[in-house]
Amino acid sequence: MSETPLLICGAGFKPEERDRLAGAFPAAFVNGPDEMGSIENGLRAGIKAIAYKGHKPFGAAEMDLFPQLGVIANYGVGYDAIDVDAASARSIAVTNTPDVLSDDVADIAVGLMIAQARSMVLGHAHVLTGRWAEQGEMPLNRKLSGSRVGIVGLGRIGREIADRLAAFKMDIHYHSRAEKETPGWTYHADVVGLAEAVDFLVIALVGGPETENYVSKAAIDALGPRGVVINISRGTTVDEAALLDALEQGRIAGAGLDVFLNEPNIDKRFLRLPNVVLQPHQGSGTVETRTAMAELQLENVACFLRGEPLKTPVN
């Protein structure tokens, strides 16, 4: 093994996550793929594994900087920032951190639905500003239990969301590439048909070019004036401009969003909307889950550097 086989890449790593990786293997650090070009040649030549955290593009040009690179271990289930085809073409393995975060992301999706439907952010302000004492009850809001929900993408996270909402006695509809074994749930072959049939549309897709604007303007229009969009996947999966137009014009009832285009510098139009609940991409952001994600990432790095099979390969 060369002296420094590991590159830790990502300004978002917490100090303890960085220390843990660097404690396991001699490591260098950069803030993002855009800084890889400035790593000194000798160091670059020895890098065999990269632990990556972030959403900045990591493509072929960056991979080619490291002649011995064999694995990119991503911190996160979504690896849309990494050009996996380019990695495969170079025999570089890519790993991710599935399963360990599904509960938390599903919890946030349900939390956003309840917060949006029950006006919990407005309710909080009603208490804090003294309006409750001065003006009395806040305006009535809307029942969530028993309503109709459509899940776009019934993968690991989508299914966790659906299971939770089934306990809310909701009528579960879904769209995915193929119909699944889901007794009592209704499959829709297209998203517009799904949106037409439900009031809450929850997006649980993978990111990347194949799902860009998957929830289109037509789907948002089909949702109608009682419709609420919940997105815990990636900002790219919905036509964000069409969503903003519909929210501003009251053509849908609202949205609960954990993900956006251009995070964290999101479109300022979101900040002026009264009918949204917004979160700073914190779906997996609990101490327990982030610890498990960091552990799985490290395990993948360790397996690779020790010549053992990878835990969670994606290519």
Q: Shortest gap between Cβ of 28 and ligand 8YV (angstroms)?
A: 20
The DSSP annotation for 243-274 comes to: HHHHHHTTSS-EEEES--TTTTS--GGGGG-T
Contact 151, 113 (CB under 8 A): no
Tell me the residue length of the chain: 315
Q: Shortest gap between Cβ of 268 and ligand 8YV (angstroms)?
A: 22
Q: Shortest gap between Cβ of 255 and ligand 8YV (angstroms)?
A: 18
Question: Whose Cβ is closer to ligand 8YV: residue 119's or residue 312's?
Answer: 312
Question: Whose Cβ is closer to ligand 8YV: residue 67's or residue 280's?
Answer: 280
Distances (CA, A) of 35 to 56, 65, 66, 174, 219: 11, 11, 13, 41, 39
Two tokens, residue 59: 């493509």
Determine the residue with CB nearest ligand 8YV: 76
Two tokens, residue 229: 């969009």
Q: Which of 16, 248, 263, 308 is catalytic?
A: 263
Question: Whose Cβ is closer to ligand 8YV: residue 153's or residue 283's?
Answer: 283
Residue 91, exposed/middle/buried by CB under 10 A (0-12, 13-18, 19+)?
exposed
Q: Shortest gap between Cβ of 286 and ligand 8YV (angstroms)?
A: 11
Give the residue from 227, 211, 207 showing the smallest Cα distance to 219: 227
Please indicate whether residue 159 is annotated as part of the active site: no
Question: Whose Cβ is closer to ligand 8YV: residue 215's or residue 222's?
Answer: 215
Question: Does residue 179 come out as left (phi exceeding 0), alpha (psi in the -120 to 50 range) or beta?
Answer: beta
Contact 5, 305 (CB under 8 A): yes
Q: Which of 62, 281, 290, 299 is catalytic?
A: 281
Please indicate whether residue 175 is annotated as part of the active site: no
Name the site residues for ligand 8YV (rule: CB under 6 A).
12, 53-54, 75-78, 101, 281, 283-284
Question: Whose Cβ is closer to ligand 8YV: residue 236's or residue 284's?
Answer: 284
CA–CA dist 215, 236 (Å, integer): 9
Q: Shortest gap between Cβ of 285 and ligand 8YV (angstroms)?
A: 7
Please indicate whether residue 137 is annotated as part of the active site: no
Residue type at 63 in one-letter notation: M
Q: Is 132 helix (H, G, I), strand (E, B) or coil?
A: helix
Q: Which of 234, 240, 290, 299 is catalytic?
A: 234
Q: Which residues are catalytic?
A: 234, 263, 281
